[in-house]
Amino acid sequence: MTDTVLTPDICVIGAGSGGLSLAAGAAAFGVEVVLVEKGRMGGDCLNYGCVPSKALLSSARAAFARNGLVDEPLGPDFESARAHIQATIAAIAPHDSQERFEGLGVTVLRGGARFVDQETVSVGDRLIKARRFVVASGSSPLVPPIPGLDQTPYLTNETLFEDLRPKPDLLIIGGGPIGLEMAQAHRRLGSRVTVLEAGRILSKDDPEHVEILRQHVKSEGIALLEGTHVERVEPTDSGGVIVHVATEQGMRAVTGTHLLLAVGRSPNVDGLDLENAGIATDKRGIRVDASLRTNNRKVYAIGDVAGGPQFTHAAGAQAGLLLRALLFRLPVKFTADSIPWATYTSPEVAHVGLGLEEARRRAGAVRVLSVAYDGNDRARTDNQTIGALKLYAGKGGRLLGADIIGAQAGELACLLSLAYSKKMTMRDLAGFVAPYPTLSELVRRAAISYYAEAPANPWVRRVVAILQKFG
Annotation: binding site for NAD(+)? 174-181, 197, 264
**Binding site residue list for FAD:** 54, 304
Closest C-alpha to 202, from 347, 14, 85: 347
> Can you tell me the distance from the alpha carbon of 157 to that of 177, in angstroms, rounded to the nearest whole number?
12
Partner residues linked to 241 by β-bridges:
235, 256
Neighbours of 370 (CB within 10 A): 12
Judge whether 255 and 271 are in contact, CB under 8 Å: no
**Binding site residue list:** 54, 174-181, 197, 264, 304
Judge whether 296 and 2 are in contact, CB under 8 Å: no
> Can you tell me the distance from the alpha carbon of 19 to that of 407, in angstroms, rounded to the nearest whole number?
32
Neighbours of 298 (CB within 10 A): 16
- Work out the end-to-end distance of the chain between its first and last CA atoms, rounded to an integer number of angstroms: 90
Judge whether 185 and 193 are in contact, CB under 8 Å: no
Whether the ω angle into residue 437 lies within 30 degrees of 0, i.e. cis, is: yes
Partner residues linked to 367 by β-bridges:
393
Partner residues linked to 254 by β-bridges:
243
